[in-house]
């Protein structure tokens, strides 16, 4: 069963009075930008929709998905943010490169989360083909960037 990733219960989020004081960061991979930029825009729009001022949303671009971990770590070290959303897209090809990239970013984000400084939200698509990615960046399965922003808000306000 597949579900629309963009559907969530907004009643589980704090009000704009809280969110208006918080800062969020999005680290987005430029590789597969047709996909990742749509996801990043979904995250930005969701933050703003719930009361986070646009100037309280930092966006950092990195070349690819492997670099997301470094970007998130740098933001956590240099900026005061309440949560970080990492956005990437890895499409399986004919070589094991897919496996290495997926493993690297998954372990990197898990490591950052164990530090406990701020939540790092994994909004990385790991898909078999481009159509699966398109379905998850604003297509029939919603937008994983929206889900990432929702999750970031929930985690920042535990």
Residues annotated as part of the active site:
97
Distances (CA, A) of 17 to 13, 57, 82: 11, 16, 15
Q: Which residues of 123-151 are buried (b: 16+ CB within 10 A; e: fewer)?
A: bbbbbeeeebbbbbbbeebbbbbbbbbbb
């Amino acid at each position: 069963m597949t579900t629309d990733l963009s559907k969530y219960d907004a009643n589980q989020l704090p009000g704009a009075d809280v969110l208006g004081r918080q800062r969020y960061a999005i680290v987005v991979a430029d590789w597969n930008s047709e996909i990742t930029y749509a996801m990043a825009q979904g995250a930005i729009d969701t933050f703003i929709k719930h009361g986070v001022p646009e100037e309280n949303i930092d966006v950092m671009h990195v070349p690819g998905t492997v670099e997301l971990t470094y970007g998130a770590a740098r933001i956590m070290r240099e900026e005061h943010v309440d949560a970080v959303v990492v956005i990437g897209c890895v499409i399986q090809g004919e070589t094991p490169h897919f496996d290495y990239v997926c493993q690297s970013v998954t372990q990197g984000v898990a490591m950052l989360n164990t530090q406990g400084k701020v939540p790092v939200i994994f909004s990385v698509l790991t898909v078999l083909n481009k159509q699966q990615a398109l379905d998850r960046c604003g297509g029939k399965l919603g937008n994983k960037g929206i889900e990432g922003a929702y999750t970031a808000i929930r985690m920042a306000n535990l």
